Copies of this chain bind each other. A is one copy, B any other.
Amino acid sequence: MAPEDVQRWAVKIEYDGTPFVGWQRQKNGLSVQELLETAASHLAGGLAVPSITAGRTDAGVHASGQVAHLDFPAGLPLVERAVRDGISFHLKPYPVVVLAAARVSPSWNARFSAVKRRYRYRILNRPGRAALDVNRVWHVKFPMDVGAMQEATRLLLGTHDFTSFRATSCQAKHAIRTLERFDVTREGDVLTFHVEARSFLHHQVRNLVGTMKLVGGGHWSLARVREALEARDRRAGGPTAPAEGLCLAGVNYDPDPFALVASD
């Protein structure tokens, strides 16, 4: 459809990634994208409502603040609450919900207009497995040195070639990225990493956290982390942390399309 034939809406979405093959449509299972577009098409009398997302999360990865845009037919009378609550209604009983909806210009793009992606990764660090946070955390039994991990995160802050921490299947043209935030804190048995950048390489957050686990367990020194970064070779980086600890916490835009929308 030409831009004048569509009305573009930005939606903020929360989902539990456990039952899905990931964000992107796939033939081998249920994706968040397929559910969202199907739910949205119910508001458009069955017409297709294609979406573009800010971050194509992998199978098992969660989101508390994913953002996508949806192109509805231009003539439909849509208002913020009806889009938000209508899509959420049609998403039942799946663990996916629209938290906010805002009309945006056809030149606005959930992927290309994003100025920052914010991820959170949680490790449950205790002997006992999770009973309450099943599928929400990575369970690491051995005691971890958070101070050492925090020092290691600082080595990786800023602009670097992250080839050693990108999936070998990553499609990006180059591996230079800028980590604007990368830190870890402990609260009780839970370690939380915050990782923020304009954009990320495929598996970058999980590969960084997998490497930090080696530091936290005393298996890797800070020097080894620096060597891994400088090697620019995936074989030099640490292992990929499991999907279930990862959550796309939010996406920033300037201006924020959701700043003025209804919150009740």
Can you show 25 pairs from A to B with CB atoms below 8 A apart? A14-B130, A14-B131, A15-B131, A15-B132, A16-B131, A16-B132, A16-B134, A62-B132, A81-B127, A84-B128, A85-B127, A88-B128, A95-B131, A95-B134, A96-B131, A97-B128, A97-B131, A98-B128, A99-B127, A127-B263, A132-B136, A132-B247, A141-B264, A142-B264, A143-B263
List, in ascending order, chain B residues with CB within 8 A of A81's CB: 127
- For chain A, the bracket of interface size reads 20 to 34
Please measure, in the bound complex, the distance between the C-alpha atom of A207 and the C-alpha atom of B97, giving whole angstroms: 29
Q: List residues of chain B with CB within 8 A of the CB of A130.
A: 14, 97
Contact string against B for A residues 119-137, beta-carbon threshold 8 Å, 1 for contact and 0 otherwise: 0000000111111101010
Could you list which residues of chain A lie within 8 angstroms of chain B, going by C-beta atoms? Answer: 14-16, 62, 64, 81, 84-85, 88, 95-99, 126-132, 134, 136, 141-143, 247, 263-264
Closest-CB distance, A33 to chain B (whole angstroms): 15
Q: Which residues of B contact A128 (CB under 8 A)?
A: 14, 84, 88, 97-99
Given contacts A15-B132, A97-B129, A97-B131, 20 further A-B contacts (CB under 8 A): A14-B130, A15-B131, A16-B131, A81-B127, A84-B127, A85-B127, A88-B128, A88-B129, A95-B132, A95-B134, A97-B128, A97-B130, A98-B128, A99-B126, A99-B127, A127-B263, A127-B264, A132-B247, A142-B264, A143-B263
Asked if A263 and B16 sit within 8 Å, CB to CB, the answer is: no
